[in-house]
Amino acid sequence: MKNITVIGSGTMGNGIAHTFAQYGFTVSLVDVNEAALSKGLQTIANNLDRQVKKGSITEQVKADTLANITTYTDLTAGAQNADLVVEAATENPDIKLNLFKQLSDICGEDTILASNTSSISITRIASVTKKPGNVIGMHFMNPVPVMKLVEVIRGYSTTNEVTSTIMALSRHLGKDPVEVNDYPGFVANRILMPMINEAIYTLYEGVAGVHEIDTVMKLGMAHPMGPLQLADFIGLDVCLAILNVLHSGFGNPKYAPCPLLVNMVTAGSTGVKSGNGFYKYTPGSKELVVADKFNGES
């Protein structure tokens, strides 16, 4: 396996491209948006600089990594020679189904088609391709170059051979892959999202404030960050979308998103990316300040 195509140059796509390129793969990074490609390359360069400063890589590795990445806005040009495609485009079923349908025509019949989706069924994505056995979930965590886990998701038809190849490849990238089956939320989000939702309910019902809830979970459970801060980092819109997948996929009311979460997303308070969530975020400031809404100030 030599040629890797990464689709989507956002938060996850640039991290995935960075990781494969650093390990010597030839990476084609594809995005519909030219600006996203430039921003993705800039982010990769900045993150490589940080690695050089920390002494974890040399200047030469940085230069080689950047030289291994070519960008494309045209899907055919970017994917036609791929041995593996890792799709990390926007979390929207229509976008992903459309991409996989096209990839199935563009790529060779041995190409493995992987998705980094957080919640969309791999079995459903595979169903629009000609070779569903070659479709698999490769769920990297954010930030990709740093986080060790890859949740490898076997769709209903994914073959043993494809699964073994992706497990071995993940280990080759210095990751610790874990194999799971394709049911709503897989493992990571099926367990994480109900915890985040419960933390939001705890706030909504007035049991405790933002700071108090996060402090209990940090100091009491040794979590590196509280669930409300984590939700802000993931994006409250993303959390809501995943809870909706769990709720509709299992038909169980225990996954129903908290009305406060729904309200916040509707109002545009989506967490770090919007500057406001359970906390407020000022560019350049590392101080954790509870949002006015939850501070009795609005």
Cβ nearer to ligand NAD, comparing 116 with 276:
116
Min separation Cβ 22 and ligand NAD, Å: 18
Q: Is 34 assigned a catalytic role? A: no
Query: Is 189 assigned a catalytic role?
Result: yes
Size of the site for ligand NAD (CB under 6 A): 24
Q: Tell me which amino acid residue 277 is.
A: G
Binding of residue 229 to ligand NAD (CB under 6 A): no
Rule CB under 6 A: is residue 11 a binding residue for ligand NAD? yes
* Rounded Cα–Cα distance for residues 92 and 193 (Å): 18
**H-helix segments, the chain:** 11-22, 34-54, 59-67, 75-79, 93-106, 122-126, 160-172, 188-204, 210-221, 227-234, 236-250, 259-266
Q: Is 252 left (phi over 0), alpha (psi -120 to 50) or beta?
A: beta
**Judged by CB under 6 A, does residue 31 bind ligand NAD?**
yes
* From 5, 47, 116, 134, residue interacting with ligand NAD (rule: CB under 6 A): 116
Answer yes or no whether residue 226 interacts with ligand NAD by CB under 6 A.
Answer: no
Among 43, 65, 68, 118, indicate the residue that binds ligand NAD (CB under 6 A). 118
Tokens at 210, concatenated: 């933002």
Amino acid letter, residue 119: S
**Which residue in this structure is represented by tokens 């990074």?**
29
Is residue 99 near ligand NAD by the rule CB under 6 A?
yes
Helices (H) and strands (E) counted in the chain, each on its own, are 12, 10
Shortest distance (Å) from residue 54 CB to ligand NAD: 22
**Binding to ligand NAD by residue 277, rule CB under 6 A?**
no
- Active-site residue flag, 247: no
Q: By CB under 6 A, name the one of 27, 89, 112, 231 that touches ligand NAD.
A: 89
Do the beta carbons of residue 118 and residue 182 sit within 8 Å? no
The answer to whether 202 contacts ligand NAD (rule: CB under 6 A) is: no
Annotation marks residue 151 as catalytic = yes
Q: Does 91 bind ligand NAD (CB under 6 A)?
A: yes
Half-sphere exposure at residue 269, Cβ-oriented, CA atoms within 13 angstroms: 19
| Amino acid of residue 87 | E
**Active site members:** 118, 139, 151, 189
Residues that bind ligand NAD (CB under 6 A): 7-13, 30-33, 36, 88-91, 95, 99, 116-118, 139, 142, 234
